[in-house]
Amino acid sequence: MKEEGRRTIIRFSLRGKLIFFFFRRIQLMKTRAFNISKEAVWSAYKRVKANRGSAGVDEVSLKEFDKDLKNNLYKLWARMCSGSYMPPPVLLVEIPKKDGGVRPLGIPTVSDRIAQTVVKQALETDLDKLFHEDSYGYRPGKSAIDAIGKCRSRCWQYNWVVDLDIKGFFNNIPHDLLLKALERHTSVRWHLLYIKRWLSAPVQQKDGSLHTSEKGTPQGAVVSPLLANLFLHYCMDKWLTLNYPKCPFERYADDAVIHCRTETEAKSLMESLSQRLKDCGLELHPEKTKVVYCKDGKRKGDYEIKSFDFLGYGFQPRLCRSKTGMSFVSFTPAISKKSQKHILEKVRESKQLQQSQSDLVSIAEELNPKLRGWINYYGKYRKSKLDQILSLVDIRIARWARKKYKKLHGSIQMSLKWVGKVKKSMPNLFVHWRVKPCTTSG
């Protein structure tokens, strides 16, 4: 009897659990206004995890988020499915710019970055097919170096360039026009709902106050680059293709150059584009936007402005040498002066180089990731210019050695000789020591 009673209790217990889960399932289905898969949230989390990033207004880092990962992701998924997910405020962080100003970045929370990535992944493939082939920023399979290479070849084909700078682009994108463009390419309710909420999410200032705006999308937000490309596709790229089909361009986010055959054409285009951007709620920077003559050895005439910067490279006339050894003047890119200054500032900021108790291995571990990135990017064109800057890294190491070793307290020349000996004995210690210096001028 006892055994039979126990079986009855177990049977009713299992039946109760099944009934509970059944009604729980029905309740969840009723609350799921949107069909968002758990796999989409998990995929978005992995992308956010790979990109790292700092904490937002809630001060929850990725490490803290991972401590209760399963529960955090489930809550986010459930809220997005029900339509109840509300983005928290964005944390304002000001990043120093190469020109001395600051760039305002909006840092979302970890969970918000995941939510934005869910929407971005759902939209990205279809929208990317729409964009112009010469739009390079934040797109799969395209890079800033690709834009530099295309700009380089076109400067050899076209005499003039319009060097564009859109004033405060990310902060001034009109929400109504952006959403109008978005609605042309998606009718999925949760795409539009959450993007509207992200656009209207407040920004938390340094003093803790909240600021909302009817325009702009924060730099630092996951969806911002995709939305920016969509806006500029209609605002500029498509307009240029229709009105100036013989003037090709390269654009990386809001940084762009347009190639023209004559000075008259360049000035006319700049004026027309300025009006077009005003109609779209944007403005060309009056001082940074200019018409540039791509001077080389074959092009006659001389003009005041013969150089421009694009994506960290400086384009200007330079003395080059052909494969046969002949010298000639070509309009080519090399690391810009602003980028050179930026590299030296980053080296000066090295914590290991500022401490005499450090050792070379620790210094190398700190600097090598940065050195590798600079070499891979700025070493693509006219690497000899980059080598000149990297040689100053050795001088900085020599100054550190003078402070550390008494026998080197004399002249800087003694310290540089010491660096030279270390370089011979440990040629793989620093990344720039491993790379053979460029001897050509091309």
**Residues 257 and 177 occupy one common structural domain:** yes
Residue 29 scores a pLDDT above 50: no
**Residues 371 and 247 occupy one common structural domain:** no
pLDDT number for residue 188: 95
Q: What is the mean pLDDT of residues 262-289?
A: 96
pLDDT: is 175 or 434 the higher one?
175
Q: What is the mean pLDDT of residues 36-52?
A: 96
Residue 262 scores a pLDDT above 90: yes
**Is residue 283 situated within a structural domain?**
yes
Domain that holds residue 377: 336-434
**Residues 411 and 370 occupy one common structural domain:** yes
Residue of 250, 205, 220, 208 whose CA lies nearest to 232: 250
What are phi and psi for residue 234, nearest 5 degrees?
Answer: -85, -35
pLDDT number for residue 407: 85
Residue 26 scores a pLDDT above 60: no
pLDDT number for residue 176: 95
pLDDT: is 12 or 389 the higher one?
389
pLDDT number for residue 85: 97
**Residues 219 and 282 occupy one common structural domain:** yes
**Is residue 281 situated within a structural domain?**
yes
**Is residue 319 situated within a structural domain?**
no
**Residues 382 and 309 occupy one common structural domain:** no
Residue 424 scores a pLDDT above 90: yes
**Residues 106 and 246 occupy one common structural domain:** yes
Q: What is the mean pLDDT of residues 313-323?
A: 92
> Is residue 283 a contact partner of residue 178, using CB atoms and an 8 Å limit?
no
**Residues 298 and 391 occupy one common structural domain:** no
Q: What is the mean pLDDT of residues 143-163?
A: 97
Q: Over the chain, what is the mean pLDDT? A: 90
> Is residue 94 a contact partner of residue 104, using CB atoms and an 8 Å limit?
yes
pLDDT number for residue 437: 52
Enter the tokens of residue 299. Answer: 């092009």
Q: What is the mean pLDDT of residues 137-156?
A: 96
Residue that is written with structure tokens 């990317």 in the block: 128
pLDDT number for residue 214: 84
Q: What is the mean pLDDT of residues 269-277?
A: 97
Q: What is the mean pLDDT of residues 321-327?
A: 85
**Is residue 110 situated within a structural domain?**
yes
Residue 32 scores a pLDDT above 90: no
* CATH code at position 99: 3.30.70.270
Q: What is the mean pLDDT of residues 386-395?
A: 93
pLDDT: is 206 or 121 the higher one?
121
Kindly give, in sequence order, each residue whose CB lies less than 8 Å from that of residue 152, ignoring residues fewer than 6 positions away.
Answer: 315, 332, 333, 381
The pairs formed by 396-401 with CB atoms below 8 angstroms and a separation of 24 or more are 396/347, 396/348, 396/350, 396/353, 397/353, 397/360, 397/363, 400/353, 400/356, 400/358, 400/363
pLDDT number for residue 436: 63
**Residues 220 and 259 occupy one common structural domain:** yes
Which pLDDT band, with edges at 50, 70 and 90, does 441 fall under? very low
To the nearest whole percent, how much of the chain has pLDDT over 90? 78
Residue 16 scores a pLDDT above 70: no
**Residues 214 and 356 occupy one common structural domain:** no
Total domain count, the chain: 2
**Residues 193 and 158 occupy one common structural domain:** yes
**Residues 262 and 350 occupy one common structural domain:** no
Enter the tokens of residue 424. Answer: 């011979």
**Residues 412 and 304 occupy one common structural domain:** no
**Is residue 331 situated within a structural domain?**
no
pLDDT tens digits, one per residue of 57-76:
999 999 999 999 999 999 99
Query: Over the chain, what HEC string results?
Result: CHHHHHHHHHHHHHHHHHHHHHHHHHHHHHHCCCCCCHHHHHHHHHHHHHHCCCCCCCCCCHHHHHHCHHHHHHHHHHHHHHCCCCCCCEEEEEEECCCCCEEEEEECCHHHHHHHHHHHHHHHHHHHHHCCCCECCCCCCCCHHHHHHHHHHHHHHCCEEEEEEECCHHHHCEHHHHHHHHHCCCCCHHHHHHHHHHHHCCEECCCCCEECCCECCCECECCHHHHHHHHHHHHHHHHHHHHCCCCCEEEECCEEEEEECCHHHHHHHHHHHHHHHHHCCCCECCCCCEEEECCCCCCCCCCCCCCEEECCEEEEEEEEECCCCCEEEEEEEEECHHHHHHHHHHHHCCCCCCCCCCCHHHHHHHHHHHHHHHHHHHCCCCHHHHHHHHHHHHHHHHHHHHHHCHHHCCCHHHHHHHHHHHHHHCCCCCHHHHCCCCCCCC
Which pLDDT band, with edges at 50, 70 and 90, does 440 fall under? very low
pLDDT number for residue 10: 47
**Is residue 17 situated within a structural domain?**
no
pLDDT number for residue 169: 94
Residue 196 scores a pLDDT above 70: yes
Residue 291 scores a pLDDT above 70: yes
**Is residue 107 situated within a structural domain?**
yes
pLDDT tens digits, one per residue of 71-116:
999 999 999 999 999 999 999 988 877 666 778 888 999 999 999 9
To the nearest whole percent, how much of the chain has pLDDT over 70? 91
**Is residue 14 situated within a structural domain?**
no
pLDDT number for residue 4: 58
